[in-house]
């Protein structure tokens, strides 16, 4: 099975967002990964609804929205209306994670949970059967272009085992520092979806870089 490739728009040229989205439309990317940062959950602010709506007007692929915000439950319906197909909230940002997952599903979106590097996959034991996606952060969230954390490989193995033991359908997404070097082992360990920001957008030929990530052996 070929991996799902989700380029992160965070690393794109915001002054030329339409052409960046059109490039992704024409590419072998499966999803557009959208990083929302609030300056509270993470020490950075990215962009909000007006920019997301501008992306949606041109995007021909599902929007995979990664909420790095506190109290995400306050904005789920608004993100769905702005075009999110997948809404991922952070485990660390939710006091009532089970409720928030149901809230996301009630909008018709797919529900994802993201885990910071320090958060054990075992904490998902009681919700894994209810979620569509788990995003393992392979950097500390907040910035593109950071170094990949090697411990991610064993987290993927542990999560894969948990998914199988609980008969869950959840996809495993890896976010942060993904490149052509680490992608093969990530996929071998059980990753289904790869997010890539700087590796795609800082390359000389983003279309080819996406194709290479998609079609590796």
The single residue among 7, 11, 30, 35 that binds Zn ion, judged by CB under 5 A, is 35
10 makes contact, choosing from Zn ion, ligand DX5, none, with CB < 5 to 8 Å by partner type, with ligand DX5
Query: Does 35 show up as a binding residue in the annotation?
Result: yes
Q: In the chain, how long is the greatest CA-to-CA distance?
A: 46
156 with 137: CB under 8 angstroms?
Answer: no
Choosing from 4, 11, 76, 193, the residue that interacts with ligand DX5 (CB under 6 A) is 11
- Closest distance between ligand DX5 and the C-beta of residue 147, in Å? 9
CB 47 within 8 A of CB 79: no
Separation of CA 209 from chain center: 18
Report which DSSP code applies to 34. E
Structure tokens at 148: 């990949």
Interacting positions 106-165 with ligand DX5 (CB under 6 A): 139, 141-146
Among 24, 76, 87, 178, binds ligand DX5 (CB under 6 A): 178
Q: Indicate whether 203 belongs to the interface with ligand DX5 (CB under 6 A).
A: no
Residues 28-57 that bind ligand DX5 (CB under 6 A): 33, 35
Residue ranges in contact with Zn ion by CB under 5 A: 35, 66, 175
Residue ranges in contact with ligand DX5 by CB under 6 A: 8, 10-11, 33, 35, 66, 139, 141-146, 175-178, 195-199
């Amino acid at each position: 099975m070929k991996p799902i490739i989700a380029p992160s728009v965070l690393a794109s040229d915001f002054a030329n967002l339409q052409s960046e989205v059109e490039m992704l439309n024409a590419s072998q990317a499966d999803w557009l990964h959208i990083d929302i940062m609030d300056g509270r959950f993470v020490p950075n602010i990215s962009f909000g609804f007006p920019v997301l709506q501008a992306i949606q007007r041109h995007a021909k692929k599902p929007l995979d929205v990664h909420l790095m915000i506190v109290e995400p439950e306050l904005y789920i319906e608004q993100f769905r209306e702005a075009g999110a197909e997948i809404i991922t909230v952070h485990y660390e940002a939710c006091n009532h994670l089970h409720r928030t997952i149901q809230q996301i599903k009630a909008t018709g979106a797919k529900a994802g949970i993201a885990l910071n590097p320090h958060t054990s996959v075992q904490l998902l034991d009681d919700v894994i059967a209810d979620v569509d996606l788990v995003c393992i952060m392979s950097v500390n969230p907040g910035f593109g272009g950071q170094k990949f954390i090697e411990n991610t490989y064993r987290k993927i193995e542990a999560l894969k085992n948990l998914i199988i033991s609980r008969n869950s359908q959840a996809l495993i997404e890896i976010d942060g520092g993904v490149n052509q070097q680490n992608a093969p082992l990530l996929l071998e360990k059980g990753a289904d979806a790869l997010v890539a920001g700087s590796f795609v957008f800082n390359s000389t030929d983003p279309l080819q870089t996406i194709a290479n990530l998609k079609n590796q052996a």
